[in-house]
Amino acid sequence: MKILAIGDPHGNVGKIKKIPIKNIDLILLTGDLGKADLARKLYFENIKRKKKGLPEIERTLVQIKKIHLEVHKSTIKLLKYLSGFAPVYTIQGNVGIPSIKDVKEKKRKYNLNLISTKEEISSMKKIKLVKNQLRILNGVRIGFLEFFVDTCWVKEFKPKDYKESMQCAKRETNKARKVLKRFKDIDILVCHQPPYGILDKVNFPGVPTNWRGKHAGSKTVLNYIKKSKPPYVFCGHIHEGEGMTRVGKTEVYNLGVVGHKIIDV
């Protein structure tokens, strides 16, 4: 089976169209499907304001709708294009797709007419948004682990709400460990963040100075790779970490933004 793995698309269909997609049986995506420029800009602006002791800028109703539509439209456009070539299997990244319940709650709270991306994806042929599951596709065992906040990230980056962040990270990390225990004898691991210390160093322009040079990968994922030794790992998240290296016999690919790798299994 010929498999094409693509790094975090972020709605960049133009760049994806440059990938030579021929005779591909399966397409794997590492999350962060949609374009989130508006949300990202506001997020980093608020980080700067916090450092200066200024209050955060709250999102207006217009901004909330624009942010939602930017992610939604770019996600659907991307998936429609790729599914024209082969079945597409993807996970959630940190630029996630809100649940149907969350969309309904936002509609009620803000009285906004928002489209449910998940509902639209579920109605699309050849598209699967996989949540922490092992799938056997044409005999190939693929584990799909969606984005989670690892406790090592909280220790490394020390957010101001450290105690609250650590409690949340402990829950998510414990859940991820349980998921990975079910991924036995897999051929491919698809996850969002890289393993800790592997193609995960933060040096992206515009990030806070105190983030630079730190490792944003997951020790939970690293420990799993060392123990289970899957032949391939595809991830993204830290765009500037794009590249390939080995952990033992495992080939780890950080595919960055729309980086790609074709393998024949």
CATH of the domain at 205: 3.60.21.10
How confident is the model over 116-138, as a mean pLDDT? 96
- What pLDDT, on a 0 to 100 scale, did the predictor assign at position 160? 85
pLDDT level of residue 210 (50, 70, 90 thresholds): confident
> What does the mean pLDDT of the chain come to?
95
Q: What percent of the chain has pLDDT over 70?
A: 100
State the pLDDT at residue 241. Answer: 97
pLDDT at 206 over 80: no
Phi, psi of 2 (to 5 degrees): -95, 120
Q: Provide the domain limits for residue 160.
A: 2-264
- State the average pLDDT over residues 171-188: 98
Reported as a single tens digit per residue, the pLDDT across 67-100 is: 999 999 999 999 999 999 999 999 999 998 998 9
CA 10 centroid distance within chain: 10
Residue 92 to residue 147: CA distance in whole angstroms? 6
Give the tens place of pLDDT for each residue, 20-54. Answer: 999 999 999 999 999 988 888 888 888 788 878 88
Could you tell me the pLDDT band of residue 207, with boundaries at 50, 70 and 90? confident
Query: Contact at 8 Å (CB) between 257 and 37?
Result: no
Per residue in 230-251, pLDDT (tens digit) is 999 999 999 999 999 999 999 9
For range 109-138, the mean pLDDT: 94
The kind and range of the H/E element at 172 are helix 162-181
Calculate the CA dihedral of residues 150, 154, 156, 159 and round it to 10 degrees. 150
Number of domains in the chain: 1
Q: What is the pLDDT of residue 42?
A: 87
Chain length of the chain:
265
Q: What's the rounded mean pLDDT across residues 208-233?
A: 96
DSSP string computed for 182-241: T--S-SEEEESSPBTTSS-B---TTS-GGGTT-B-SBHHHHHHHHHH--SEEEE-S-GGG
